[in-house]
């Protein structure tokens, strides 16, 4: 490895609010080569990364588009991946497009090409994706297909072998992306438009070829059948009412288009029942691993219509239905049947490991909802679900408890009758639990003290979310002293201590009082420094204790 550059720049600590996904991104200016065939970008974007001599040479080659284009036909194919990463890192878009058009492997995978490697330890996959680079790769694939479709009757070049573009795994943490990066919603729209464009061009070629065959001077010589040319795009999709039409058209064209979308994780917001079902019907049954439907106001009656269409997803592992307007507290005779049907449909999802029913009113019905599942859940999110003691009692005695890796009970009042059943649940899940969210659960120092013995038995715990609970500075110090021995606990989201507020809080304080109250910055700064010093003194500089909910993303189930 060669020497280090300057330290990489960091994003500001407080992320701004995410833009509405329905807002269309602005159109970027065209990329034009500068002097000596150079493109925008430079080695500065790689500052702080350890790079091999091979990678440094790749950066130099990528900085001269004309030289790179002339070199590609003679470049050993083993060097294409490192040149791709160098061009992506420095936003050498012209070189990127040439690389994609000449890609010598069947698969072009962002996950493999942009991860840490022996040539460069910069993990581009964990950064917000560059809009220019992602758009360029998509345009490169479209250009590759146009080239291949024009030459279908000729002998295929050895370089023309791309079959799969895998864009899964690009970061999408929901925070503000800005004009230089690309959100999942924007990627979905860009890909959908590319699929439609390729499909239209194919249709035009077919029409032109048909006219030539029927013309007065058409040759009687029979051409060999065209070799099949197509690229499958493995992708995560995010759709809402604004982008529904273009995505539906793209998925409809999948059957005959040379550019086909194959969805891994599907997320839909604010769609009608009919629109949701319509899109689910177009998804490949074997490729979908996650369905996330939120803010769709489906209710039990709507879910009764939607869920049967998920049974075909034989590899569905994760189902998220937060903010679906489920309320089981006052069931009529008709809605009781809908609840039974909903539970039965969940039971048909034989590979389900993650379930999110956040912001549903499930009081007393957890046994009925989860009782038909064929296997144990490993991730269960029940935030703000108005749970009752018998719900947690059932959960602690169920097959799910010893398998749980992720548990979110935020917004449920754990300070009263739920405290003891929650203690029991923690004990049953202690050998497997990695991620625990108990934010805004009205936990005071005394409640936390009662929970600490069970919490400290969770020897594999990596994440603990406690924000929005009325804890004091002393309560937080006690928590740190008791949990510092948990070797894997690297991230704790803690609340502003109640003794750091500028004005007296009502007792017990509500979540809104804690969230909207004024914090004395000087007091909190001293407390934060004390906690950091305690971590250092305990040789736990690797652990992050923070009140920042935006900067540190929680663990995703598939990365547990």
pLDDT (tens digit, 9 = 90+) per residue, 396-421? 999 999 999 999 999 999 999 999 99
Say yes or no to pLDDT of 459 above 90: yes
Q: What is the pTM of this model?
A: 0.87
Residue 213 pLDDT? 57
Residue 317 scores a pLDDT above 70: yes
Residue 15: the pLDDT is: 36
Q: What is the number of domains present in the chain?
A: 1
Residue 38 pLDDT grade (very low, low, confident, very high; cuts 50, 70, 90): very low
pLDDT of 341 reads: 94
What confidence tens digit (pLDDT) does each residue in 120-142 have?
A: 999 999 898 999 999 999 999 99
Q: What is the pLDDT, as a whole number, of residue 189? A: 97
User: Residue 28, SS3?
Assistant: coil
The reply to whether 28 falls in a domain is no
Mean pLDDT of 232-258: 96
Q: Which distant-in-sequence residues (6+ apart) come within 8 Å of 15 by Cβ?
A: 175, 176, 550, 551
In a domain, 168, yes or no: yes
pLDDT of residue 34: 35
pLDDT of the residue at 208? 77
Segments forming the whole domain that contains residue 77: 52-184
Dump the DSSP string for 119-174: SB---GGGSPPBHHHHHHHHHHHHHHHHHHHHTTTSPPPTT----EEE-TT----S
- Quickly state the pLDDT bin for 2 (edges 50, 70, 90): very low
CA angle centred on 196, ends 193 and 202, rounded to 5°: 140
Pairing assessment for the beta strands 290-294 and 107-109 based on DSSP bridges: unpaired
Can you tell me the mean pLDDT for 293-306? 93
130 forms bridges with which residues in the sheet?
181
Domain for residue 123, yes or no?
Answer: yes
Does residue 216 have a pLDDT over 70? no
pLDDT average, residue stretch 248-276? 95
Question: DSSP character for 519?
Answer: B
For residue 516, pLDDT beyond 80:
yes
> Which has the minimum average pLDDT: 34-38, 98-102, 192-196?
34-38
The average confidence (pLDDT) of the chain is 87
In a domain, 77, yes or no: yes
Assess contact for 436 and 488: CB atoms under 8 A: no
> Do 323 and 358 meet the contact criterion of CB atoms below 8 Å apart?
yes
The token pair at 397 is: 């005695």
Reported as a pLDDT band with limits 50, 70 and 90, residue 552 is confident
Contact 191, 233 (CB under 8 A): yes
**Spatial contact of 459 and 428, defined as CB atoms under 8 Å apart:** no
- pLDDT for 23: 36
Rounded mean pLDDT of 433-443? Answer: 98
CA–CA–CA angle 60, 62, 68 (5° rounding): 110
Q: List Cα–Cα distances, 196 to 27, 152, 249, 259, in angstroms.
A: 19, 20, 7, 9
Residue 421 has phi, psi (to 5 degrees) of -60, -30
For residue 176, the model assigns a pLDDT of 56
Name which of 236, 234, 141 is nearest 188 in CA terms.
236
**Phi and psi angles of residue 177, each rounded to the nearest 5 degrees, phi first:** -95, -35
Give 304-311's long-range contacts (Cβ < 8 A, gap of 24+): 304/338, 304/341, 304/342, 304/345, 305/273, 305/277, 306/273, 306/276, 306/277, 306/280, 307/342, 307/345, 307/346, 308/345, 309/277, 309/280, 309/281, 310/280, 310/345, 310/349, 311/345, 311/348, 311/349
Contact 83, 62 (CB under 8 A): yes
Q: Which of 91-95, 137-141, 204-208 has the lowest mean pLDDT?
A: 204-208
Q: How far apart are CA 87 and CA 59, in angstroms?
A: 7
In DSSP terms, 356 is beta-bridged to 320, 381
User: Residue 272: its pLDDT value, please?
Assistant: 94
Question: For 474-479, which contacts have Cβ atoms below 8 Å and span 24 or more sequence positions?
Answer: 474/445, 475/444, 475/445, 475/448, 475/449, 476/527, 476/531, 477/530, 477/531, 477/534, 478/445, 478/448, 478/449, 478/452, 479/448, 479/452
Do the Cβ atoms of 270 and 240 come closer than 8 Å? Answer: yes
Q: Specify if 136 maps to a domain.
A: yes
- Per-residue pLDDT for 1 more than 70? no
- Does residue 219 fall inside a structural domain? no
What pLDDT does 481 receive?
Answer: 98
Q: Residues 334-384: pLDDT tens digits?
A: 778 889 999 999 999 999 999 999 999 999 999 999 999 999 999 999 999
Name the 3-class secondary structure at 268: strand
Higher pLDDT, 106 or 227: 106
- Please determine, for residue 274, whether its predicted confidence score (pLDDT) is greater than 50: yes
pLDDT reported for residue 8? 35
pLDDT confidence band for 18 (50 / 70 / 90) = very low
Is 450 contained in some domain? no
**pLDDT tens track for 159-177:** 468 999 999 988 876 665 6
Share of the chain above pLDDT 70, in %: 85
C-beta separation of 410 from 436 below 8 A: no
Residue 489: pLDDT band with limits 50, 70, 90: very high
Instruction: In whole angstroms, give the CA distance from residue 441 to residue 9.
Output: 36
Of 317, 294, 323, 318, the closest CA to residue 385 belongs to 323
Question: Beta-carbon neighbour count of residue 487 at 10 Å?
Answer: 13
Q: Is residue 94 part of a domain?
A: yes
Give the pLDDT confidence score for residue 211 in this predicted structure.
Answer: 66
């Amino acid at each position: 490895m060669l020497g280090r550059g300057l330290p990489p720049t960091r994003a500001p600590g407080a992320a701004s609010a995410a833009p509405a996904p329905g807002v269309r991104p602005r159109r970027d200016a065209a990329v034009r080569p500068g002097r000596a065939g150079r493109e925008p970008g430079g080695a500065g974007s790689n500052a702080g990364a350890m790079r091999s001599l091979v990678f440094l040479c790749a950066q130099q080659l990528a900085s001269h588009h004309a030289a790179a284009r002339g070199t590609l036909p003679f470049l050993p194919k083993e060097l294409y991946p490192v040149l791709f990463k160098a061009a992506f890192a420095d936003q050498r878009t012209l070189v990127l497009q040439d690389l994609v058009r000449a890609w010598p492997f069947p698969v072009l995978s962002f996950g493999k090409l942009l991860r840490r490697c022996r040539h460069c330890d910069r993990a581009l996959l964990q950064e917000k994706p560059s809009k220019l680079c992602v758009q360029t790769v998509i345009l490169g694939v479209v250009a590759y297909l146009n080239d291949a479709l024009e030459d279908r009757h000729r002998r295929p070049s050895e370089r023309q072998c791309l079959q799969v573009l895998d864009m899964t795994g690009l970061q999408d943490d929901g925070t503000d992306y800005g004009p230089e990066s690309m959100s999942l919603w924007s990627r979905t729209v860009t890909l959908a438009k590319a699929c439609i464009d390729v499909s239209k061009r194919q249709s035009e070629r077919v029409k032109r070829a048909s006219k030539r065959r029927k013309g007065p001077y058409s040759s009687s010589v029979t051409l060999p059948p065209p070799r099949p040319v197509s690229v499958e795009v493995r992708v995560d999709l995010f759709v809402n009412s604004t982008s529904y039409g273009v995505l539906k058209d793209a998925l409809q064209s999948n059957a005959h288009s040379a550019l086909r979308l194959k969805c891994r994780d599907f997320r839909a917001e604010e769609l009608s029942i009919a629109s949701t079902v319509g899109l689910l019907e177009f998804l490949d049954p074997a490729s979908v691993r996650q369905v996330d439907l939120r803010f769709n106001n489906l209710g039990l009656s709507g879910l009764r219509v939607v869920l049967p269409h998920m049974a075909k997803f034989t590899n569905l592992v994760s189902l998220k239905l937060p903010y679906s307007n489920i309320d089981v507290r006052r069931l009529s005779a008709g809605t009781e049947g809908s609840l039974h049907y909903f539970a039965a449909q969940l039971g048909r999802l034989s590979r389900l490991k993650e379930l999110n029913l956040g912001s549903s009113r499930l009081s007393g019905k957890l046994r009925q909802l989860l009782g038909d599942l064929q296997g144990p859940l490993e991730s269960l999110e029940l935030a703000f679900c108005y749970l009752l003691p018998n719900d947690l009692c059932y959960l602690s005695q169920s097959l799910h408890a010893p398998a749980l890796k992720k548990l979110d009970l935020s917004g449920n009042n754990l300070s009263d009758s739920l405290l003891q059943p929650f203690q029991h649940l923690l004990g049953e899940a202690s050998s497997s639990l990695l991620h625990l969210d108990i934010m805004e659960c009205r936990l005071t120092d005394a409640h936390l003290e009662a929970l600490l013995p069970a919490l400290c038995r969770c020897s594999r715990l990596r994440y603990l979310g406690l924000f929005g609970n009325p804890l004091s500075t002393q309560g937080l110090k006690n928590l740190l002293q008791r949990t510092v021995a948990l070797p894997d606990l690297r991230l704790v989201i803690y609340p502003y201590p109640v003794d750091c507020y500028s004005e007296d809080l009502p007792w017990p304080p509500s979540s809104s009082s804690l969230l909207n109250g004024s914090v004395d910055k000087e007091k909190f700064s001293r407390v934060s420094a004390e906690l950091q010093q305690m971590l250092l003194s305990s040789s736990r500089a690797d652990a992050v204790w923070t009140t920042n909910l935006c900067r540190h993303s929680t663990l995703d189930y598939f990365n547990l």
